[in-house]
Amino acid sequence: MDDTVRRALQKWPNVPNVFGWLRLDRRGNWLLKVQLDQFERISNSAVVAFIGRNYEQDEAGQWYFQNGPQRVFVSLDYTPHVYRLDDARRGWLTQAGMPAGNPLELLFDERDDVVLVTDLGPGLVLDRDLPAMIDNITEIDGRGLEVDALLESLRTQGARRIRLLDVPVLAAGVDHAGIASRFGFVAEPVPV
């Protein structure tokens, strides 16, 4: 959290929270409500970076952006993070461009979405990085592995260990609707 945000919290500790005005879409864009049910992408890079640095989860599993003394709760189109490959294609970054941490699991849902679980938690893999990700999935012993064969084995035999970018991870199927409850986050925050 930025020092300016910490100072604002001390100066104005009781500012009301905001709900329904900020969204994180499936491509890692921050969207701001401009009219009833209409959102526009925030394109100012300084604002996007500020949101990313001050993005956290509360004790109820709701994600928010600490905007000075005010919490702006974030509606999630799927997961609290969207992960993309770094420029060297050796690691993962969050939608804010920060390291995502160590990959732990690779989850495939029935809608053909891919969720990477890292030390930071679950994040939808950015669609443009799916081909490179798929090209870097191998058997645990390093032998090649076709994604269709992997998906079939997950359906018939359950979870299994694989390598993703040469890092051992657990691959498994997952129910799209169950992601939030499994990882303890709230997709549509509400006042508690």
pLDDT in tens, 36-92: 889 999 999 999 999 999 999 999 999 999 988 889 999 999 999 999 999 988 899
Domain that residue 132 falls in: 81-178
Q: Please state the domain count of the chain.
A: 2
- Predicted confidence at residue 16, as pLDDT, reads 85
Would you say residue 185 lies in a domain?
A: no
- Predicted confidence at residue 192, as pLDDT, reads 79
C-alpha–C-alpha distance, residues 166 and 158, integer Å: 21
Would you say residue 191 lies in a domain?
A: no
Co-location of 95 and 173 in the same domain: yes
Would you say residue 37 lies in a domain?
A: yes
> What global pTM score does this model have?
0.89
C-alpha–C-alpha distance, residues 60 and 157, integer Å: 35
- Residue 22 — very low, low, confident or very high, per pLDDT cuts 50/70/90? very high
Co-location of 85 and 166 in the same domain: yes
Co-location of 43 and 118 in the same domain: no
Co-location of 19 and 101 in the same domain: no
Last residue of a domain, one of 24, 48, 76: 76
Would you say residue 184 lies in a domain?
A: no
CA neighbor of 47 nearest in space, from 31, 35, 26: 31
51 in helix, strand or coil? helix
Query: With contact defined as beta carbons under 8 Å apart, do 45 and 51 qualify?
Result: no
Would you say residue 165 lies in a domain?
A: yes
- Domain of 54: which CATH number? 3.10.540
Co-location of 99 and 168 in the same domain: yes
**According to the 3-state scheme, what is the secondary structure of 76-140?**
ECCCCEEEEECCCCCCEECCCCCECCCEEEEEEECCCCEEEEECCEEEEECHHHHHHHHHCEEEC
Would you say residue 161 lies in a domain?
A: yes
Would you say residue 189 lies in a domain?
A: no
- Residue 119 — very low, low, confident or very high, per pLDDT cuts 50/70/90? very high
Q: Which residues contact 112 (CB under 8 A, 6 or more apart)?
A: none
Q: Which residues contact 157 (CB under 8 A, 6 or more apart)?
A: none
By DSSP bridging, strand 167-174 and strand 103-109 are parallel
For residue 8, pLDDT over 60 is answered with no
Would you say residue 188 lies in a domain?
A: no
CA neighbor of 32 nearest in space, from 67, 82, 59, 81: 67
